[in-house]
Amino acid sequence: MDIKVANPLCFIIQKFLIQKDRPALKQAQDVLYIYDTIELFGALLEEFHDTWERRVSPDLSKKLKDTVLKLSESTFSNVNDVIRDAARIPQNRKLLPEQIQQTCQLAFEIIFNK
């Protein structure tokens, strides 16, 4: 059986693009999904940068590209209520809001070459 798995970078980008349409709890879940994806695929950040530059960014309109860049920065520029809520979601591990914020901020600096 063949199973299709979403590209992790495209999964993250999609989470940014739907953010404004999501209620606060779902936004927190999406932040946790973004963080977990970065943790799981952190060794591929340079590859994600290349994919962003060569495949994803050129296929997005300027407006969508700008939206992704702005949301990646505004979501993770400092610890906020959404990040605090995301840190409280997992019951089986202890996450600090600062851990989520700093990990994601650094990852997006690498991916988007800020």
**Domain ranges (residues) in the chain:** 8-111
Rounded mean pLDDT, 7-31: 95
pLDDT digits (tens, 9 = 90+) for 44-103: 999 999 999 999 999 999 999 999 999 999 999 999 999 999 999 999 999 999 999 999
Rounded to an integer, the average pLDDT of 33-41 is 97
- Tell me the one-letter amino acid at 73: E
Q: How confident is the model at residue 114 (pLDDT cuts 50, 70, 90)?
A: low
Name which of 40, 38, 37, 33 is nearest 18 in CA terms: 33
Measured between alpha carbons, how far is 86 from 70 in angstroms, rounded to an integer? 20
Please, what sign has the CA dihedral across residues 29, 98, 72, 33? Answer: negative
Q: Can you give the pLDDT at residue 1?
A: 76
